[in-house]
Structure 1
Amino acid sequence: MEKIFIVEDDREIVTQLEHALRKRGFDARGVKEFNSVMLEFSEYNPQIVLMDLYLPIYDGYYWTSKIRTASTCPIIFISSAETRTNAITSMNTGADDYIEKPFDIDILIAKIRALLRRSYDFTSMANTLSFGLYKLDLINSQITIDDKKVDLTAHEFVLMKKLFENQNHTVTKSELMQALWNTDNFVDDNALQVSMGRLRKKLAEIYLDRNIHTHRGKGYILEK
């Protein structure tokens, strides 16, 4: 599921965008603190950023420049400013596209999907995710390396998919429990630990267990 990071200070617009994007199969999240946009960007690790121009503390040009120092993630500028200069400046700063408010959500979705197609090779990787030499087969729920393979249960597959999608970034316990049980409220935290323990034991057969680390009190990370 592709992740869309929304850097916008109008909470009503953010809520509407999150609802519309999730309805169309995307994972969407609005920025929480405008003095830590880069930190939230790194933790979320999105495939697309929707960037407003006028923001608290620093404007969209500033944050686009900052993101460009660390990532080639596509950025779409969203602004009510109807001037050609803003569109040109946003592109020169590092944005990939521009759309004016008020916008048609279907046009925005079309722009997002076009950028995803151009920016990521989904044709060859549609059925697999990679971590080093390890491949996660999304069709057969298997992890393979060389001529070895490990079959995963439904729960194990969900855990590994989240870790592969967010490799080198901590996946919180809340995110994992939401993915496994569609909630992070009533499921005992111990259930997640048990599931992860069983998964690690199985992955020891191909030495992948040593790449899954626990961030105490936070979650888990798949890293080299």
Structure 2
Amino acid sequence: MFKLLLIEDDESLFQEMKERLTGWSYDVYGIQDFNQVMQEFAEIKPDCVIIDIQLPKFDGFHWCRLIRSRSNVPILFLSSRDHPADMVMSMKLGADDFIQKPFHFDVLIAKIQAIFRRVYDYNTEPNILKSWCGATVDIEQNLVSNEAGAIELTKNEMFILKQLIEQKNKIVSREELIRSLWNDERFVSDNTLTVNINRLRKKLDALNLGQYIETKIGQGYKAREEGSV
């Protein structure tokens, strides 16, 4: 049974979500003390975290930043605010998805299921090591390493890199990446993919690999091999 941690201070909404999610066979936890969020996170060890932005003490961005400093667990943001900057900020901090309140419960379930398929299913593949531009890509550990060092990617970043290097030297359309990553492109902002690609490329720059992820304007993205055009 997957464990969900809901960092939500609206008790009525929390109870409603807990009841509905429990009905889908998820093990649901809430925060008892908003002064002890990280301690409770460490004790629960959730498989996915759902965070509201507006919270007592500190906002959801603060907790996302702290969680990301310790874990690559999938993070889904909830927000009653409709400013696009909130979605951009959540993606830059390493969140996996974003839902605007009020939301239809079927959308929440679809997003959670998509996250679990993406994050936990593909790690069972026997071929977990891939070679690209002289680097070793460890899909299971979310690590990319070469003679310049090693970097750790989030689940989303690794999934995107995996999709691109499996079709290296070919252009992968934005639509194909969105469908593969989120399963249903109706539920995701096009800007979310851009943020993830930019974050991935910036991390790869530390290994002198960022230049090999190319943007093809109006077409998509390509993972190029060294020496190829």
Question: Which of the five TM-score ranges fits, normalised by the shorter chain?
Answer: 0.5 to 0.7
What is the deviation of 1:52? Answer: 0.3
Q: Which deviations, in whole Å up to 9, do the C-alpha atoms of 1:55-89 show, x marking residues without a partner?
A: 11110000000000111000000010011111101
**1:46 maps to which residue?**
46
**1:80 maps to which residue?**
80
Unaligned runs of 5+ in 1: 126-224
**2:55 maps to which residue?**
55
CA distance in 2, matches of 1:43, 1:109: 25
CA distance in 1, matches of 2:122, 2:44: 20
Aligned length: 125
Displacement over 4 Å in runs of 4+ = none
CA distance in 2, matches of 1:24, 1:89: 30
Which one-letter code corresponds to 1:90 in the other structure?
Answer: S
Which one-letter code corresponds to 2:115 in the other structure?
Answer: L
Which one-letter code corresponds to 2:49 in the other structure?
Answer: V
Change (3 A) 1:123 1:96: closer
**1:66 maps to which residue?**
66
What is the deviation of 1:123? Answer: 7.7
Q: How does 1:191-206 map to 2 (within 5 A)?
A: none
Which one-letter code corresponds to 1:99 in the other structure?
Answer: I
| Aligned residues: CA RMSD | 1.4
**1:116 maps to which residue?**
116
What is the deviation of 1:30? Answer: 1.1
Change (3 A) 1:69 1:102: same
Per the alignment, in what secondary structure is the counterpart of residue 82 of structure 2?
coil
CA distance in 2, matches of 1:9, 1:103: 17
Which one-letter code corresponds to 2:16 in the other structure?
Answer: Q
Q: Structure 1 length normalisation: TM-score?
A: 0.54
Unaligned runs of 5+ in 2: 126-229
**1:2 maps to which residue?**
2
Identical-residue share of aligned pairs (%): 42
CA distance in 2, matches of 1:11, 1:28: 14
